[in-house]
């Protein structure tokens, strides 16, 4: 059997949260339909953030209630605090995510909490989710480099991960939020994460600011990681991280992994169609390296 890679598509959340022009709920659902048609079965669909701070996510409830149902599909949403978690529960979101960044300054910029306050809040939400029978993922943002405080010690990331694991988190998401990590850093970090928490419990979320996201994905794969986040067309960026560019493009990861003999369950040609739908919805020119190559051949 071909080994399976799980790709969580984050374009609807991380991809759209920083876009200056609003994308309608109907257009978001068109993007979701195109992704599902391509074989994507894990969607991080929205964030229950306050609309004042992240206006693109103001329709979180509508998105979660209108996504097409289907066996094997996993729809998740970020919950930035207890209020966000309450909103997610109200529309029966079965998979939720919490996020903390590895430095105090970034937490204050991102969620208006100190590091210690954010850690307590995340742990409490993880515990609530476990009690409620919901799947919960704990993101550790700026796990390699912080835009405000510089290089992050791996020990800090491992300590956060241990606290999340002790609270009962189902998955640990390690994020290179500003796309500043290199393959050596990524492999070292992910080897430690796999050794401490197991490959089934750990995923990687990469941005491509410096053009190393695909190389970093391969380094993580060599470390045993089989769970990756990505965004259709490379769409994305963090509104609270100066210099952060788009996420690694979903189509580039599919091309990488499928070409090397792994199974993503995602059809690259149909993914190309999803890029076009996303371009139409956002008014942006999108597409990873493989899309440019495919377009040059037609």
State the DSSP code for 12: I
d(CA 6, CA 270): 17
Catalytic pick among 122, 146, 238, 260: 238
Look-up: residue for tokens 């371009």?
279
**Active site (annotated) includes residue 238:** yes
Task: Give residue 127's Cα distance to chain centre.
Answer: 21
| Percent of the chain that is helix, strand, coil (3-state, to 5) | 45, 20, 35
CA-CA distances (angstroms) from residue 31 to 40, 49, 120, 169, 270? 11, 21, 35, 29, 12
What separation in angstroms does the CA of 266 have from each of 19, 39, 115?
Answer: 26, 4, 37
* Calpha distance 88→47 (Å, rounded): 9
Strands 227-230 and 150-151: unpaired
The sign of the torsion formed by the CA atoms of 250, 256, 261, 267 equals: positive
> Looking up tokens 């742990």, which residue turns up?
123
Furthest C-alpha separation in the chain: 53
Assign 3-class secondary structure to 189-227: HHHHHHHHHCHHHEEEEEECCCCCHHHHHHHHHHCCCCE
Catalytic site residues? 238
């Amino acid at each position: 059997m071909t080994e399976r890679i799980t790709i969580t598509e984050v374009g609807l959340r991380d991809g759209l949260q920083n876009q200056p022009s609003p994308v309608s709920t109907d257009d978001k659902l068109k993007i979701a339909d195109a992704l599902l048609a391509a074989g994507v079965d894990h969607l991080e669909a929205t964030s229950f953030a306050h609309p004042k701070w992240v206006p693109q996510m103001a329709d979180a409830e509508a998105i979660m209630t209108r996504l097409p149902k289907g066996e094997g599909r996993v729809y998740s949403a970020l919950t930035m605090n207890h209020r966000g978690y309450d909103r997610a529960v109200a529309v029966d979101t079965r998979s939720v995510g919490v996020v903390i960044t590895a430095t105090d300054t970034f937490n204050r910029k991102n969620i208006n909490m100190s590091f210690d306050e954010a850690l307590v809040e995340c742990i409490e939400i993880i515990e609530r989710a476990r009690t409620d029978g919901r799947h919960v993922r704990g993101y550790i943002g700026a796990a390699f480099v912080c835009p405000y405080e510089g290089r992050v010690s791996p020990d800090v990331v491992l300590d956060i991960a241990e606290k999340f694991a002790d609270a009962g988190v189902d998955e640990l998401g390690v994020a290179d939020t500003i796309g500043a990590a290199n393959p050596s850093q990524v492999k070292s970090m992910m080897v430690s994460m796999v050794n401490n928490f197991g490959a089934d419990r750990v995923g990687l979320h990469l941005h491509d600011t410096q053009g190393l996201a695909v190389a970093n994905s391969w380094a993580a794969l060599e470390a045993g990681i089989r769970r990756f986040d990505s965004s259709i067309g490379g769409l994305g960026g963090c509104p609270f991280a100066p210099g952060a560019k788009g996420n690694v493009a979903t189509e580039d990861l599919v091309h990488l992994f499928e070409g090397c003999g792994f199974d993503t369950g995602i059809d690259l040609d149909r993914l190309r169609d999803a890029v076009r739908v996303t371009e139409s919805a956002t008014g942006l020119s999108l597409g990873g390296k493989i899309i440019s190559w495919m377009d040059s051949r037609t």
